[in-house]
Structure 1
Amino acid sequence: MSDIIVSQLWIYPLKSMRGISLDSVQLEKRGFQYDRRWMLIDENNRFITQRQHPKMTLIEPSFEKGIADYGLSVRAPDMPVLIIPYPDQQIELYDEVEVTCWDDQVKAHHINTAIDNWFSEFLGVDCQLVYMPDDSIRPVDPDYVLDKEKDIASFSDGFPNLVISEASLADLNNRVDIDLSMNRFRPNIVISGCEAYAEDQLGHFKIAAIDFYAVKPCSRCVITTVNPENGEKESREPLQTLALFRKKQNKVFFGQNLLHKLTYLSDNRLNIGDKVEIVEPGEAIEFD
């Protein structure tokens, strides 16, 4: 695995909505800059995702100007363009709320009801948009933590980053009768130049002098059965096929969750084309 490179970089500013493909991205303590810093919650302040509302995959954020000065532009079919301000610039204007993301109680900021109404109208459900401020701390799963003081996450499903190889997706596509795009699986880092499922054994590796650790294979859910082009569940794939050869303890896996250690020797920025250097390979994963 000596010629592995970074081929794609993705962030998902709005949890469970469309991602943004980037050529270069800043890595921060909790993951890629702006990744999953915004999230929708229900009337009980609990997070909502494509699991309940597949139409969320049709909501598309973009950076049209500098985000710190302008914010996110958000589009959805038959809806006016929505501008979401970047809250850390006017933090005193927003109400603090405690929200639930999986089993975690997390400090967040509610932005405003006009933004809530936009999402509620499109999804047909009452919801609110919240933002995770810089001083909100959400620890990663303690069973996999490397440094309990430094390993934190945003509103992701549990870890700062996710890696998948192009070869793994190609292999899976050869096994199913539908065309699966990478954005069904919502990785942050996509790699090429390796064999299928090489990410299972990345172990400890470096990109741009930053240490990464593949700590846990990513268990997949019904979100992967949603067609990202139309927001509809069209079949039981890819879960049905993954269960045939990527199943363990009644879960199916695709991709690797990552932890990382920032370095003070560089600017902690990743770019497409960066080389992946294996420091210590991980052990092979045995599936049922």
Structure 2
Amino acid sequence: MSSLIQPYLELAQEHFEIYKGQLLEKLATVSTTTYVLTILAICIPPIIALILYEIEEARLRAEQPKGCRKLGLKIDSNLKNEFDKKFSEGRPPSTEETSAEWWRLKSMWIYPVKSCKGVELNRGTVVAAGMEYDLAENDPNDKKSAHKWQFITQRQFPLLAKVRTEMWVPDQSVDTYAAHVEDVESGGVIILSFPYQEAGWKGKVAQWGAALKGKVPEKQFRIPFDPTPVQIEKAGYTYEKMTIWKETVTALNLEIEIPEEEVHRNAPTKEQLGYQPVTGFQDAYPLHLINLASVRDIERQIPTARCKMPNVDQVTGERHPSEPDRTIRSFRAVDEGAGRNTGCLGMQLVPCAKESALRVGDEITVLETGSHCYIPQ
């Protein structure tokens, strides 16, 4: 076989040498000035884009909440090795490993804003209502006709999966800490960031600068975690009724903190409407008209009934018409109380103490096993 290929290799090498010689001859006629200008033309635009991006990043860092530290890990994730084979068995790989050495808390998350990206912790506090700082906020949908607020999830708005949340909490060890700093008085700050690119050259430059660091341009806003009555009055927040599943609760309306954006492009003009349309936390326009498994076997025997899966890719924010919901229901519909069309995943828990602490690496001990039957509301 090598004897058949050898002539072709020699011919290719010969042509390569010819073309290389021709190229070097042409390059020899190019002046030094042309070389320099060409290199500058290639290098300067991305350098400018990176500088402008870093200036914007520095501005955001300067506006970080005063007297607070950001919750989260300094490493990428405790789940980096989640696909290791030893986590697929549901039991120690050998009889020599004791239960205390094996069953430990691997990763812990809170979700300050429902359906948005979570925050992974190494340690956390469990209060009577669950994890501290978990699901502190809801994204509402205002039904204008009856002025009725309802919470929304990725089922209605799958791109919520791309909204990044930061939870900042008061910390006396921070240099800017003071008891009467506004961010400290409000019990902390939640910062929400979402992919956003301005129109025109500014947006393109921001896109280039972010791409050089492997990111995308973002827009962000912040909301106080638990504002005081004085802060509520000063900011003009109002209390509104909001429906969460079957319950109606009184919630603090923080919508004035969401930055408005004027809508141009295909939108009517100010002369036509009397005002320039704006958009808040939606996409490019305030209204949008559009045409219409399982994690691992380790959890197969510890069921918890789930409502219908949103089938949203948590990286891209795209929704699949049927998966993974169909696959989960095909072999994890194991709870008679939940019904044959409800998949089960994980185990639902309630805290047995008003306040306690958890940290990654804590031992997990199974106290009791038995049959499981979900009781619907």
Larger helix proportion of the pair: 2
After TM superposition, give the deviation of residue 116 of structure 1 in Å.
Answer: 7.0
Question: Partner of 2:266 in structure 1?
Answer: none
After TM superposition, give the deviation of residue 285 of structure 1 in Å.
Answer: 6.7
CA distance in 2, matches of 1:251, 1:198: 15
| RMSD, aligned α-carbons | 2.8
Residues 1:105 and 2:261 are matched in the alignment = no
Deviation string 1:118-170 (CA, Å, 9 cap, x unpaired) is 893334558xxxxxxxxxxxxxxxxxxxxxxxxxxxxxxxxxxxxxxxx9723
Residues 1:121 and 2:286 are matched in the alignment = no
Question: Partner of 2:113 in structure 1?
Answer: 14
Determine helix, strand or coil for the equivalent of 2:348. strand
Aligned residue identity for 1:249? R
Question: Partner of 2:153 in structure 1?
Answer: 49
Q: Identify the structure with bigger relative contact order (alpha carbons < 8 Å, sequence gap 6+).
A: 1
After TM superposition, give the deviation of residue 114 of structure 1 in Å.
Answer: 3.1
CA distance in 2, matches of 1:95, 1:50: 26
After TM superposition, give the deviation of residue 80 of structure 1 in Å.
Answer: 2.1
Unaligned runs of 5+ in 1: 127-166, 172-194, 201-216
Provide the TM-score with structure 2 as the length reference.
0.48
After TM superposition, give the deviation of residue 273 of structure 1 in Å.
Answer: 0.5
Question: Partner of 2:192 in structure 1?
Answer: 74
Question: Partner of 2:130 in structure 1?
Answer: 31
Question: Partner of 1:269 in structure 2?
Answer: 357
Question: Partner of 1:214 in structure 2?
Answer: none
Aligned residue identity for 2:155? R
CA distance in 2, matches of 1:112, 1:53: 17
Does structure 2 conserve the Cα–Cα contact (< 8 Å) formed by 1:4 and 1:275?
A: yes
Aligned residue identity for 2:238? D
Aligned residue identity for 1:105? T
CA distance in 2, matches of 1:9, 1:239: 24
Aligned residue identity for 1:15? K
Residues 1:254 and 2:370 are matched in the alignment = no
Residues 1:242 and 2:328 are matched in the alignment = yes
Aligned residue identity for 2:369? P
Provide the TM-score with structure 1 as the length reference.
0.62
Deviation string 1:240-280 (CA, Å, 9 cap, x unpaired) is 211221123322222222122116xxx60100001112222
Aligned with residue 84 of structure 1, among 223, 230, 234:
223
Does structure 2 conserve the Cα–Cα contact (< 8 Å) formed by 1:220 and 1:253?
A: no
Unaligned runs of 5+ in 2: 1-90, 92-98, 143-147, 172-182, 197-217, 262-278, 288-292, 334-338
Determine helix, strand or coil for the equivalent of 1:46. strand
Does structure 2 conserve the Cα–Cα contact (< 8 Å) formed by 1:26 and 1:270?
A: yes
CA distance in 2, matches of 1:231, 1:273: 31
Deviation string 1:39-61 (CA, Å, 9 cap, x unpaired) is 11112201111111101111010
Aligned residue identity for 2:306? S
CA distance in 2, matches of 1:115, 1:282: 48
Does structure 2 conserve the Cα–Cα contact (< 8 Å) formed by 1:239 and 1:252?
A: yes
After TM superposition, give the deviation of residue 18 of structure 1 in Å.
Answer: 0.7
Larger strand proportion of the pair: 1
Largest Rg, 1 or 2? 2
Going from structure 1 to structure 2, the CA distance change for 1:15 and 1:196 (only over 3 Å counts) comes to closer
Say which is worse superposed, 2-11 or 63-72, in terms of deviation: 63-72
Aligned residue identity for 2:166? S
Residues 1:170 and 2:293 are matched in the alignment = no
After TM superposition, give the deviation of residue 63 of structure 1 in Å.
Answer: 2.9
Residues 1:226 and 2:226 are matched in the alignment = no
